Structure 1
Amino acid sequence: MYLKTSITPEGLAVILFIVYWLVLEYLRSINFLERHNLSSYGPLLILRTKKGLNLLEKLSRPKKLWRVFATLGIPMVFLGMVFMFSLIIFMDIVMLKSPPPPSSITSPRNVLLIPWVNTLFPPLYLLLALIVTLVVHEFSHAILCRVEGIKVKALGILLLLVPIGGFAEPDEKELEKNANRIQKVRIFSAGVISNFSLATIAFILFILLLNFLQPTVFIAHSKNPEIHAGEIVYSINGIKVFTPSDVTTALKLNRKKLEIVTDNGTYILPCVAGVEIAKTYPGYPAYKAGMKEGMIIYMVNNTYTPTLEAFEEFMSKTKPGQILDVHVYYNNKKEVFHVKLTKSPYSNSGFLGVEVYEYISGLELGYSSVLLEELKSLPYQLKSIRGLLFFVAMPLMGFKGFIGQATKYFKPEILGGYLFVILTSLYWIGWVNFYVGLFNCLPAIPLDGGRVFYEAFTWILNKFGLEGDKIAGATVKYLAYLIFASLIMSVVVPNIAYLKRL
């Protein structure tokens, strides 16, 4: 009899991690690490080097430029501090009032931005973005140290199987003795400011390169057994289609017959095009008029509405109180409903009171142009708190770059498949820099935001004749306890029910 066993990827990862830690402890015990300028704390391997210090000197020579850059960026650090601390408090309230259920997002392993540990993000792109982020962050601290005349003893990398951090090791005694308060704030802020700057550059390039992606139309859902979801639509009624507007134009050419060419063949179908009612809201106009789920709205008044875009465009121009003739297909018959609109809860236009989705001869089409336009609008979304929250959560909401199946729905106009690699690299470099920059703004030592807050708060308290160092030190310490307890709670609380079942 043979006992069959299998190891899950998670189990294999744990085994590899334990082996790595044991090897590390053995190398430490025989002084191998010390002889090679390495040290370890538990499973954390620290590599220090003086290589790069000469480059540091050269980069720090335009001292005035670096001081202006750091000084102008300091307000961004405080804005990031307020935003992130507010987000932490809001998260605490949500966790205590209505904790979310366990999910991949709340899984402890996915809280960490560690490639191959985090299962939500593509590991290679995450690794690239982390390396770029850490190099930029730590080099910026080091450059500002030299600009302010502070010695940098070494540069270093933190490794936990893969790089998870970096550091510049300034002469702390020299920093405390020779640097005034504004110099310290510039030094501590430099990493965050550089992360924000690089994120901005990466996303500008990302958005510019999006213009070289051609969107496609595809079959999102199909009630026709011959046509399958995922097929790319090349043309409809002889018109090449890339956007919802193209589809609307093509359908208006022939209201009786639909000729659709996809990557799987050509189909000729009787044309029944419009929006299908998925739900009517009780008490609203459509419900009162007797309209039902399954009805297909193909015309309103004398305007043909063969697509969701055409229907929404028409409805956006209506007004509350306006009476419409709504033409529908239902049970192979045509019917007309006279409906008096009410006010839309979302805008000043009229409201029918229905949920609809596109219906084109049993097909629902998808449009990759919608995603492109949403990505191109990111700079405008960042003007609001809601847009900023969307940006921070974007990878968690499903967009992980142009990888896997996502590449099927776009056609590069330059560089072929390399354009997807460049775009995805820029996306992750931009997002990780932005996220790491924001996280480091938190007013908790040892984070940069904690040290900046300490210096600024000490200065304010001293102005009022108070014991600045003592009060600011205690404040930052308790803020650190609060913030890190909140982060732990965000992982533990959603998983309490799961832990109870174990």
Structure 2
Amino acid sequence: MEQQRKVRAEVKLPLILIHTPFGLDFFDRVAKWPGAKAWAEINAYLMPIITALAIFLIVGSLAILIANAEARQNVGALEPTANLLIPGLNPYLPITYGWIALIVTIVIHEAGHGIIARIYNVRVDSTGIVLLLGLPIGAFVNIEREELNKVNLKKKSSILTAGPLNNMILAGVSLAALYFIITTLTPVPPDPNSPQFGIAVVSVNPGSLAESIGMTQGSVIQTVDGQEIREINDLGEILRANLGRTVEITWFDSDNQLVTEQATLPEAVEPGRGILGIQVTPLLPDSGAVLERYKGAFGSNPIALLLPPTMQQGAVPYSDLMQSRYESTLGPVWVPAANMLFWLWFVNFNVGIFNALPIGPLDGGQMYGSIIEKKIKSAALAKNATNLLTAVMVAVVAAAILLPYVLNRL
């Protein structure tokens, strides 16, 4: 059967798959590069490392959620869609940066499989791009399944590992480039006319009480019911003490204009849920301290850098809230460059470790399933063992996602 060499469209609503020959030609060329075979040999042994990291992070987060009530409350306060890696559905994943990062991630992932398959002369039926309602969302590589299953376990492992490994490599490169940009920053002296106390509004939820009274991102809340707000806890305590009442709220808007509005608070609020529908941060975090803490995390705890700037605006130099407080030797381009590199790091890392999990159709699931089949001669017993491994891993992942929402409502 000849590889497909014509451009054609395949409709699987709401998806449209555009099959092209260009990926096939590229894979064949790269497969002949010097060192390509040696790289494929290395690939065969690296999936367990990525899998171990993935399980460590998932089990570690689960342990923290079980032991720490504050962590459960913070995670449970997020929308469930925050667990989805889909721009537009995940409120913390910006659409432009998110879509670009997701497309690059999937292309890199699929290219990894295709190139290693061609190194081992495993046929790739077709390649192409995936459109969702006409918008590109990724790519695909159709490897001939029968040929893949015929190669020995080492070669199959190399082909399956290539996708997650490519993602982890790109994640590491993006993180290193982001660190370089951070080292070019210097804090800008604060505006002496800015508010001297209060808490800064990082974001305002659509349809929230704060939005209804005209509060916007960058506002600085000064008083509620005549009482000064100097700490984040002050806001929650005063609001909860006035549930069901109409209170006066004053704040400085992003143009440093003082605004006063009346807000009628709800009679009750669910545990872990906000009242105004805003995210806040301490007023004017010290720009120098924020920069040094963030820079230090690259060496001490890079996993902590996975928390998106949209979730911790006051702690990330290139966030919407903080970016104006720094200047770079790179000029204004540093802001979009830093954000793009962060989301490339974030999306590639998450896609890489997720695909390395021992779950059924994922790359890791296919590889570990093949190992189990080789070790257990009984086909029925091997299938049961593979299904059990998948079920256990799915349960662990589901627990890490759902636990905060369940416990916060008990």
> What's the TM-score bracket when you normalise by the shorter of the two chains?
0.5 to 0.7
Aligned to 2:48: 78
Aligned to 1:61: 32
- For the pair shown, the structure with the greater C-alpha radius of gyration is 1
In the aligned structure 1, how far is the partner of 2:295 from the partner of 2:94?
Answer: 22
Aligned to 1:50: 21
Q: 1:73 to 1:372 in 2, by over 3 A?
A: farther
Aligned to 1:448: 363
Describe how 1:13-412 pairs up with structure 2 within 5 A. 37-40=9-12, 43-62=14-33, 65-91=35-61, 100-101=72-73, 106-161=78-133, 162-177=135-150, 179-218=151-190, 366-381=285-300, 387=301, 389-395=303-309, 397-398=311-312, 402-412=318-328
Letter paired with 1:170:
I
In the aligned structure 2, how far is the partner of 1:68 from the partner of 1:379?
Answer: 31
**1:71-130 Cα shifts (integer Å, max 9, x gaps):** 334554212212322443455556677772485765232211111111012221111111
How far did 1:132 drift? 0.9
Aligned to 1:475: 385
Q: 1:102 to 1:44 in 2, by over 3 A?
A: farther
In the aligned structure 2, how far is the partner of 1:183 from the partner of 1:224?
Answer: 64
Number of residue pairs matched? 318
In the aligned structure 2, how far is the partner of 1:223 from the partner of 1:229?
Answer: 10
How far did 1:153 drift? 0.8
Report SS of the residue matched to 1:155.
Answer: strand
**1:144-201 Cα shifts (integer Å, max 9, x gaps):** 1111101111114444445554321011112222x21111011000011111111122
In the aligned structure 2, how far is the partner of 1:203 from the partner of 1:192?
Answer: 16
Report SS of the residue matched to 1:166.
Answer: strand
Letter paired with 2:352:
G
In the aligned structure 2, how far is the partner of 1:125 from the partner of 1:220?
Answer: 34
In the aligned structure 1, how far is the partner of 2:36 from the partner of 2:360?
Answer: 24
Question: Would the aligned equivalents of 1:77 and 1:449 in 2 still touch at CA under 8 Å?
Answer: yes
In the aligned structure 1, how far is the partner of 2:55 from the partner of 2:143?
Answer: 28
Aligned to 1:417: 332
Structure 1: unaligned runs, 5 residues or longer = 1-34, 231-363, 382-386
Q: Relative contact order (alpha carbons < 8 A, sep ≥ 6): 1 or 2 greater?
A: 2
**1:360-405 Cα shifts (integer Å, max 9, x gaps):** xxxx874323333334334422xxxxx2542344557515772423
In the aligned structure 1, how far is the partner of 2:181 from the partner of 2:142?
Answer: 38
TM-score by length of 2: 0.66
Q: 1:221 to 1:84 in 2, by over 3 A?
A: farther
Report SS of the residue matched to 1:169.
Answer: strand
Letter paired with 2:175:
F
Letter paired with 2:164:
V
Report the structure, 1 or 2, having the larger strand content. 1
How far did 1:412 drift? 2.2
**1:414-448 Cα shifts (integer Å, max 9, x gaps):** 2x322211121112112211121111111112111
> How much identity, in percent, do the aligned residues show?
25
Letter paired with 1:215:
P
Report SS of the residue matched to 2:85.
Answer: coil
In the aligned structure 2, how far is the partner of 1:479 from the partner of 1:91?
Answer: 20
In the aligned structure 1, how far is the partner of 2:95 from the partner of 2:175?
Answer: 20
Structure 2: unaligned runs, 5 residues or longer = 1-6, 201-282
Aligned to 1:345: none
Aligned to 2:342: 427
Aligned to 2:205: none
Report SS of the residue matched to 1:69.
Answer: helix
Report SS of the residue matched to 1:37.
Answer: strand
In the aligned structure 2, how far is the partner of 1:135 from the partner of 1:402?
Answer: 26
Aligned to 1:352: none
How far did 1:141 drift? 0.5
Report SS of the residue matched to 2:122.
Answer: coil
In the aligned structure 2, how far is the partner of 1:152 from the partner of 1:74?
Answer: 19
In the aligned structure 2, how far is the partner of 1:395 from the partner of 1:74?
Answer: 35
How far did 1:475 drift? 2.8
Q: 1:498 to 1:87 in 2, by over 3 A?
A: closer
